[in-house]
């Protein structure tokens, strides 16, 4: 029974509250639906006392209010008179910030009127009023000073400070409110303020043994505008004058055996004024003679660096005068003087030469060197102090110096079988300025004038069946001057007709690379002339001449590619690399009758050990004719592959993926593909086995579930031919093997690689992205 009564009472209360919350009245007392706005809290709370004079008053509501209704008319603070201030609103809270501090010991009334409404237009049902009282004025006080009151022995460069018990208005901390006086005389200085501390930095050092009075006046106020209750005054006395001292020197007093290039230093007991350490206050004397030098200062140490090396076995006197002062301006009590004696001069010596003394058989291009037992002054090692002579005749040359070694490079090669005399004079000096004790002289004799010879060639003399793409080389008995190995001194002729080509030199081998393939069944003559010289300038004794003969037309399996075999890409109208760093290795790129402007995307595509040739190239000579021949050979190879009948062709069609095929000829009367799986070509142990695929229409490999070609049993890509009656496409990320001979065009999709050749009779060849072609 009691439980039912309680539930009934609760229900009535909820209904009453709902009715109250659901029926607010606007200022015209029209009843509306919604929640009535209420003041939930205030700061200060109602009845608060000792409220700070710089208090910001806030009112928090039970819901979001309409900011436009919270104004200086609807939110007021009143003491003896209305308080002027700024009203803001954020979240559920209105804020009243007085323009000036509140008055001490005053009761204030806060009021929120019924003009304040929520976002639905519901108004407070009645004005909300509360009161609070301020406390007595809390004046700021100085709680600490430095120096302390009545402190003694205060340094002359002291910064005086005063710390307050609360934050101060920094605009009231200045040269008027914070003063330091010596008697009635104001001390000039700079006043700053940080945190709760004021600082007075004197413009000049204070006077020793003097009483000073520091004052913070009532003009200094806290952030609420309350001043100190009274001036704060304290005194302190400066200390006696403590002069800086020299606490160590280098060299120490009475040191002996001091090196001649010594830098003299003096270290002080405290930081010094760098401007007072100079050539007047830090001196070095040799007897009555002033030693010139440069004075520097770092840390607490002064350095004197003599302009020239000190004299050996000599007494020197160093002095720091009373002109040297510390940062407070206090000078040394007396001049500081110390002496030291230098040691004997250690003369440099030549400890080795190349060639050694009395050497024979010295190369004519020899660099003559002399190594010293210490580091020398490079300015004293030159063509005057390091000479080479043949009898009384001076050899022209260049002298250099590095580390501890001097080098003489003759302008011209030395003369064979000749005695030369090299000399390092006493003009050569070490870093301390000490010269050699005596001139150092040595002799050497050059060797015979040995002419270089050709010791081997490739092809060898009278070689036959030389490949048409052969690079001709000649290897010498000694290093040659590369500048003398060129197309004038290394030639190739077909009878009396010069063969165009490029001559290079590396190691001891010269190479001649013909601009176009050599002709079949032709005898060529190669010549290295006496214009070729070794590094000593000695020429060959006589021209070196040899001959060789090319073979028959090269054959790749049963299909003859002939001169088309040099190309990894051979196109009719265009070659493009659409994206990525595609690479063609050890093969050329050619286009005919298309022109060079139709070759695009190189770079980023690159050709390693190959070049691009176009029908409009004018250099090297013969490129158009070479390309025409290559296209003719491609056409012949295409027709031969298309017509091949031995062994008897095997008919295939559709997808070859997943199959394994033995060597032979495979014929498709329509399209052919490799899609669902890889195609395996098995040579069955015969490395000369070949495959010819005769495809009447298009040929496609498809990446994804296969699409690659796998070689096994010794199969070689060079013996595989894909004769395609239309266009060929190599699938994404597939590995292709063999030579494509397409009537129209060829496309290599993204990241497809091929060991073989892409040869298109009429159309374009496209590398889509990051493709690789490798010579089979």
Lowest mean pLDDT among 204-213, 322-331, 539-548, 685-694: 322-331
The contacts found for 93-99 with CB under 8 angstroms, 24 or more apart, are 93/58, 93/59, 93/60, 93/61, 94/58, 94/59, 94/60, 94/61, 94/65, 94/70, 95/56, 95/57, 95/58, 96/56, 96/57, 96/58, 96/59, 97/56, 97/57, 98/54, 98/55, 98/56, 98/57
Structural domain of 225:
142-238
Which of 197, 220, 238 represents a domain boundary (last residue)? 238
**Structural domain includes residue 758:** yes
Q: Are residues 397 and 367 in the same domain?
A: yes
Q: Which residue has the higher pLDDT, 365 or 206?
A: 206
Which of 446, 472, 491 represents a domain boundary (last residue)? 446
Is residue 15 pLDDT above 80, yes or no?
A: no
Q: Are residues 234 and 251 in the same domain?
A: no
> Are 730 and 747 a contacting pair, CB within 8 Å?
yes
Q: Are residues 441 and 459 in the same domain?
A: no
Q: In sequence order, what are the residues at sequence separation of 6 or more whose Cβ sits closer than 8 angstroms to the Cβ of residue 389? A: 395, 420, 421, 422, 423
Cα 401 → chain centroid: 33
Q: Are residues 485 and 537 in the same domain?
A: yes
**Structural domain includes residue 545:** yes
**Structural domain includes residue 4:** no
**Structural domain includes residue 533:** yes
What number is the average pLDDT over the span 55-74?
Answer: 95
Which band of pLDDT confidence, cut at 50, 70 and 90, is reported for residue 523? very high
**Structural domain includes residue 81:** yes
Q: Is 165 left (phi over 0), alpha (psi -120 to 50) or beta?
A: alpha
pLDDT at residue number 621: 66
pLDDT at residue number 558: 63
> Are 241 and 208 a contacting pair, CB within 8 Å?
yes
Please tell me the distance from the alpha carbon of residue 340 to that of residue 260, in angstroms, as a whole number: 12
Q: Are residues 275 and 407 in the same domain?
A: no
Say if strands 405-410 and 367-372 run parallel, antiparallel, or are unpaired: antiparallel
Is residue 554 pLDDT above 70, yes or no?
A: no
> Are 296 and 302 a contacting pair, CB within 8 Å?
yes
Q: Are residues 476 and 425 in the same domain?
A: no
Residue 399 sits in a domain whose CATH number is: 2.60.40.1220
Tokens representing residue 375 in the block: 């580091």
Q: Are residues 363 and 334 in the same domain?
A: no
pLDDT digits (tens, 9 = 90+) for 601-641: 999 999 998 899 999 988 766 788 889 988 998 999 999 89
**Structural domain includes residue 8:** no
What number is the average pLDDT over the span 442-457?
Answer: 90
Tokens representing residue 202 in the block: 């004197």
Burial class from Cβ neighbours inside 10 Å (0-12, 13-18, 19+) for residue 251 reads buried
> Are 738 and 701 a contacting pair, CB within 8 Å?
no
Could you give the 3-state DSSP secondary structure of residue 654? Answer: strand
What number is the average pLDDT over the span 49-63?
Answer: 89
Which band of pLDDT confidence, cut at 50, 70 and 90, is reported for residue 514? confident
What is the tally of structural domains in the chain?
6
Is residue 2 pLDDT above 80, yes or no?
A: no
Q: Are residues 681 and 748 in the same domain?
A: yes
Which band of pLDDT confidence, cut at 50, 70 and 90, is reported for residue 8? very low
Place of tokens 């013996």: 719
Is residue 666 pLDDT above 70, yes or no?
A: yes
Could you give the 3-state DSSP secondary structure of residue 319? Answer: strand
**Structural domain includes residue 670:** yes
Percent of the chain with pLDDT over 90: 70
pLDDT at residue number 537: 74
Percent of the chain with pLDDT over 70: 94
Please tell me the distance from the alpha carbon of residue 523 to that of residue 494, in angstroms, as a whole number: 7
Which band of pLDDT confidence, cut at 50, 70 and 90, is reported for residue 577? very high
Is residue 496 pLDDT above 60, yes or no?
A: yes
Q: Are residues 331 and 368 in the same domain?
A: no
pLDDT digits (tens, 9 = 90+) for 703-754: 876 889 999 999 999 999 999 999 999 999 899 999 999 999 999 999 999 9
Q: How far is CA 381 from CA 69, 230, 438, 653, 731, in A?
A: 94, 81, 15, 85, 70
At residue 481, what are phi and psi to the nearest 5 degrees? Answer: -75, 110
pLDDT at residue number 560: 85
Which band of pLDDT confidence, cut at 50, 70 and 90, is reported for residue 34? low
Tokens representing residue 28 in the block: 């015209």
At residue 103, what are phi and psi to the nearest 5 degrees? Answer: -85, 145
pLDDT at residue number 27: 46
* pTM over 0.75, yes/no: no
pLDDT at residue number 25: 52
pLDDT at residue number 330: 83
Q: Are residues 766 and 638 in the same domain?
A: yes
pLDDT at residue number 202: 94
pLDDT at residue number 73: 95
**Structural domain includes residue 432:** yes
Is residue 757 pLDDT above 50, yes or no?
A: yes
Q: Are residues 592 and 703 in the same domain?
A: yes
Which residues sit opposite 234 in a β-bridge?
A: 214
Q: Are residues 61 and 128 in the same domain?
A: yes
Please tell me the distance from the alpha carbon of residue 766 to that of residue 752, in angstroms, as a whole number: 12
Which of 320, 342, 364 represents a domain boundary (last residue)? 342
Q: Which residue has the higher pLDDT, 104 or 669?
A: 669
Q: Pick from 205, 154, 201, 189: which is nearest to 331 by CA?
A: 205
pLDDT at residue number 24: 62
């Amino acid at each position: 029974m009691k439980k039912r009564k309680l539930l009934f009472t609760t229900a009535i209360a909820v209904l009453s509250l709902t009715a109250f919350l659901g029926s607010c009245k606007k200022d015209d007392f029209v009843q509306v639906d919604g929640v009535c706005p209420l003041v939930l809290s205030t700061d200060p709370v109602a009845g608060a006392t000792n409220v700070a004079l710089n208090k910001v008053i806030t009112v928090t509501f039970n819901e979001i209010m309409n900011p436009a209704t919270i104004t200086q008319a609807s939110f007021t603070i009143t003491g003896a008179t209305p308080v002027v201030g700024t009203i803001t609103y954020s979240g559920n809270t209105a804020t009243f910030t007085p323009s000036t501090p509140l008055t001490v010991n005053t009761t204030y009334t806060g009021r929120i009127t019924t003009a304040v409404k929520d976002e639905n237009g519901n108004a407070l049902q009645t004005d909300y009023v509360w009161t609070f009282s301020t406390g007595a004025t809390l004046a700021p006080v100085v709680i600490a000073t430095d120096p302390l009151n009545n402190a003694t022995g205060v340094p002359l460069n002291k910064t005086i400070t005063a710390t307050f018990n609360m934050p101060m208005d920094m605009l009231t901390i200045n040269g008027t409110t914070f003063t330091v006086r010596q008697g009635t005389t104001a001390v000039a200085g700079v006043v700053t303020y940080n945190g709760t501390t004021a600082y007075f930095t004197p413009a000049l050092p204070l006077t020793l043994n003097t009483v000073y009075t520091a004052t913070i006046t009532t003009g200094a106020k806290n952030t609420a505008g309350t001043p100190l209750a009274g001036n704060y005054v304290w005194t302190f006395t400066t200390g006696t004058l403590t002069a800086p001292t020299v606490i160590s020197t280098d060299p120490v007093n009475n040191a002996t055996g001091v090196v001649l290039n010594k830098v003299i230093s003096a270290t002080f007991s405290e930081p010094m004024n760098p401007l007072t350490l100079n050539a007047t206050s830090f001196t070095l004397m040799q007897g009555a003679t002033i030693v010139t030098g440069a004075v520097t200062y770092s840390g607490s140490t002064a350095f004197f660096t003599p302009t020239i090396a000190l004299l050996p076995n000599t007494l020197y006197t160093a002095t720091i005068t009373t002109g040297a002062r510390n940062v407070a301006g206090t000078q040394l009590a007396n001049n500081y003087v110390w002496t030291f004696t230098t040691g004997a001069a250690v003369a440099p010596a030549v400890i080795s030469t190349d060639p050694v003394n009395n050497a024979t058989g010295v190369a004519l291009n020899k660099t003559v060197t002399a190594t010293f037992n210490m580091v020398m002054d490079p300015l004293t090692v030159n063509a005057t102090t390091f000479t080479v002579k043949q009898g009384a005749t001076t050899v022209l040359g260049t002298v250099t110096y590095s580390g501890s070694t001097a080098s003489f490079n003759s302008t011209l090669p030395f003369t064979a079988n000749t005695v030369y005399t090299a000399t390092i004079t006493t003009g050569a000096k070490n870093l301390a300025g000490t010269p050699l004790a005596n001139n150092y002289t040595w002799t050497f004799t050059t060797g015979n004038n040995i002419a270089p010879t050709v010791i081997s060639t490739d092809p060898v003399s009278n070689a036959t069946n030389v490949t048409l793409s052969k690079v001709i080389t000649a290897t010498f008995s000694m290093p040659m001057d590369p500048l003398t190995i060129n197309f004038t001194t290394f030639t190739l002729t077909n009878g009396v007709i010069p063969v165009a080509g490029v001559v290079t030199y590396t190691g001891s081998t010269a190479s001649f690379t013909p601009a176009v393939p050599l002709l079949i069944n032709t005898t060529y003559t190669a010549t290295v002339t006496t214009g070729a010289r070794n590094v000593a300038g000695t020429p060959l004794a006589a021209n070196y001449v040899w001959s060789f003969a090319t073979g028959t037309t090269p054959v790749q399996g049963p299909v003859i590619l002939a001169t088309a075999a040099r190309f990894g890409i051979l196109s009719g109208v265009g070659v493009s690399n659409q994206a990525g760093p595609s690479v063609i290795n050890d093969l050329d790129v050619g286009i005919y009758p298309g022109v060079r402007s139709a070759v695009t995307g190189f770079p980023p595509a690159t050709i390693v050990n190959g070049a691009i040739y176009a029908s409009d190239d004018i250099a090297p000579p013969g490129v158009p004719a070479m390309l025409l021949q290559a296209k003719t050979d491609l056409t012949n190879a295409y027709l031969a592959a298309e017509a091949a009948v031995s062994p008897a062709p095997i008919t295939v069609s559709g997808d070859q993926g997943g199959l394994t095929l033995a060597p032979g000829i495979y014929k498709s009367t329509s399209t052919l593909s490799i899609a669902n799986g890889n195609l395996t070509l098995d040579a069955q142990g015969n490395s000369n086995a070949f495959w010819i695929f005769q495809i009447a229409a298009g040929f496609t490999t498809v990446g994804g579930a296969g699409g690659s070609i796998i070689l096994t049993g010794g199969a070689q890509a060079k013996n595989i031919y894909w004769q395609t009656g239309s266009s060929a496409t190599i699938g994404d990320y597939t590995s292709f093997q063999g030579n494509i001979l397409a009537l129209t065009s060829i496309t290599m999709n993204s990241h497809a690689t091929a060991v073989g050749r892409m040869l298109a009779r009429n159309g374009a060849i496209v590398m889509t992205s990051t493709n690789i072609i490798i010579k089979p």
